[in-house]
């Protein structure tokens, strides 16, 4: 268990250093990609689960802060890793890390039986610099897609990535990306499917605020990670039962995050 604690303290330091090294170029990308890929393996390795739960239960001084710091700093680094991927694509040298294989591989399972089809409108909260979920949804289903992000640089990079992909796509590719809050985005009220990125710290507050802004039949996929995975994701929370009903939980042992599906309690079936 001391080993796990030492390993986690080391990751906190490595994430801090690697994020600080971001300078708008890919010159320091490899360090961050390596630390993020190895951290992804750690949080999905069930052999560490019991030790992690014991650490949390014993609550030694500094443990809660360590977990908080790791979650916040790895979330920040996940955003920077997306910037590196966008910059590489824009510079014609795209690379796929294990982290991105992991994220991209999940798109099909995201909504299970409630998956979007051609007439759907899919909104991603925390779309990042490489909005793979939206590009994938638009390409596979023909759905209308939009994303929001609080990071203006991520929105700008995301738009350039979409333009680059659209230039070589066999069919028109339209992905609207905005640095707007949910309530100011006209797309929100018509959305049939909403996805929350797992690393959005306030995602459950935004889910609550989303209720009066959306259709009665909207389906929400909330990416989350509990237990060991909460070192890289904000965990699942209880929701107001008058607003949202948990209809499914999709557990993915080998993936960095799991998915909770919500509908409104009175949603038409
Ligand atoms: C790294 S990306 C996507 C990561 C991964 N695909 C996931 O599911 O977490 C997460 C993005 O969420 C954005 N973000 C964080 N908090 C946000 C908020 N309150 N509203 C909108 N975007 C947010 C970050 O700027 C970042 O670009």
Question: Is 243 inside a domain boundary?
Answer: yes
| Residue 102: per-residue pLDDT | 45
Question: Is 256 inside a domain boundary?
Answer: yes
| Residue 214: per-residue pLDDT | 98
| Residue 97: per-residue pLDDT | 41
Give the number of other CB atoms < 10 A from CB of residue 265: 12
CATH for 235:
3.40.50.150
Residues above pLDDT 90, as percent of the chain: 77
CA proximity to 134, closest of 176, 192, 83: 176
Sheet holding 219-224: strands in order across? 175-178, 144-148, 121-125, 193-196, 219-224, 258-263, 245-250
119 CA distance to ligand 1 middle (Å) = 26
Domain boundary among 100, 122, 151: 100
| Residue 58: per-residue pLDDT | 92
Mean pLDDT of 205-217: 98
Domain count, the chain: 2
Question: Is 86 inside a domain boundary?
Answer: yes
Tell me: do 162 and 123 sit in the same domain.
yes
Domain boundary among 100, 119, 141: 100
pTM of the model: 0.94
- pLDDT, tens digit, 9 for 90 and up, residues 224-240: 999 999 999 999 999 99
Tell me: do 150 and 207 sit in the same domain.
yes
Query: Pocket of ligand 1, candidates 131, 136, 200: which has the most ligand atoms within 8 Å of its Cβ, to mutate?
Result: 200
Tell me: do 89 and 169 sit in the same domain.
no
From 27-31, 45-49, 74-78, 132-136, the region with the lowest mean pLDDT: 132-136
Question: Is 215 inside a domain boundary?
Answer: yes
The residues lining ligand 1, judged by C-beta closer than 6 Å to any ligand atom, are 78-79, 82, 103, 125-126, 128, 148-151, 154, 197-200, 202, 223
Question: Is 269 inside a domain boundary?
Answer: no
Position in ligand 1 atom list of the atom nearest CA 223:
8
Looking at ligand 1, which residue's alpha carbon is closest to its atom 2?
A: 128
Mean pLDDT of 170-195: 95
199 CA distance to ligand 1 middle (Å) = 6
Tell me: do 134 and 221 sit in the same domain.
yes
- Whole domain around residue 182: which residue ranges? 107-263
Give the confidence band of 106 by pLDDT, cuts at 50, 70, 90. Answer: very low
Tell me: do 248 and 121 sit in the same domain.
yes
Tell me: do 31 and 126 sit in the same domain.
no
CA proximity to 23, closest of 69, 76, 65, 83: 83
Position in ligand 1 atom list of the atom nearest CA 195:
8
Our CA dihedral for 23, 27, 29, 34, rounded to 10 degrees, sits at -130
Question: Is 16 inside a domain boundary?
Answer: yes
Domain boundary among 40, 68, 100: 100
Is the distance from CB of 200 to CB of 257 less than 8 angstroms?
no
98 CA distance to ligand 1 middle (Å) = 19
Mean pLDDT of 113-120: 87
Residues above pLDDT 70, as percent of the chain: 93
- pLDDT, tens digit, 9 for 90 and up, residues 236-262: 999 999 999 999 999 999 999 999 999
Tell me: do 9 and 93 sit in the same domain.
yes
Give the confidence band of 84 by pLDDT, cuts at 50, 70, 90. Answer: very high
257 CA distance to ligand 1 middle (Å) = 14
Mean pLDDT of 120-133: 95
Question: Is 268 inside a domain boundary?
Answer: no
């Amino acid at each position: 268990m001391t080993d796990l604690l030492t390993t986690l303290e080391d990751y906190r330091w490595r994430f801090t250093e690697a994020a600080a090294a971001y300078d708008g170029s890919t010159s320091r990308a490899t360090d961050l990609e390596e630390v993020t890929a190895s951290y992804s393996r750690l949080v999905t390795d069930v052999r560490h689960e019991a030790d992690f739960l014991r650490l949390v239960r014993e609550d030694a001084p500094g443990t809660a802060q360590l977990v908080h710091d790791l979650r916040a700093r790895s979330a920040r680094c996940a955003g920077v890793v997306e910037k590196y991927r966008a910059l590489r694509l824009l510079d014609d040298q795209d690379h796929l890390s294990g982290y991105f294989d992991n994220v991209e591989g999940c798109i099909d399972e995201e909504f299970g039986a409630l998956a979007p089809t051609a007439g759907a409108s899919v909104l991603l909260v925390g779309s990042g610099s490489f909005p793979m979920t939206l590009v994938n949804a638009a390409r596979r289903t023909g759905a209308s897609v939009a994303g929001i992000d609080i990071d203006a640089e991520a929105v700008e990079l995301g738009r350039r990535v979409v333009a680059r992909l659209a230039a070589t796509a066999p069919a028109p590719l339209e992905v609207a990306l905005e640095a707007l809050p949910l309530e100011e985005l006209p797309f929100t009220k018509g959305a049939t499917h909403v996805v929350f990125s797992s690393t959005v710290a306030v995602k459950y507050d935004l889910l609550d605020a989303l209720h009066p802004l959306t259709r009665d039949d909207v389906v929400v996929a909330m990416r989350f990670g509990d237990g060991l995975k909460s070192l890289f994701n904000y965990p699942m929370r209880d929701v107001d039962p008058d607003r949202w009903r948990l209809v499914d939980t999709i557990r993915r042992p080998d993936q960095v995050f799991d998915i909770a599906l919500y509908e409104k309690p009175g949603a038409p079936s």
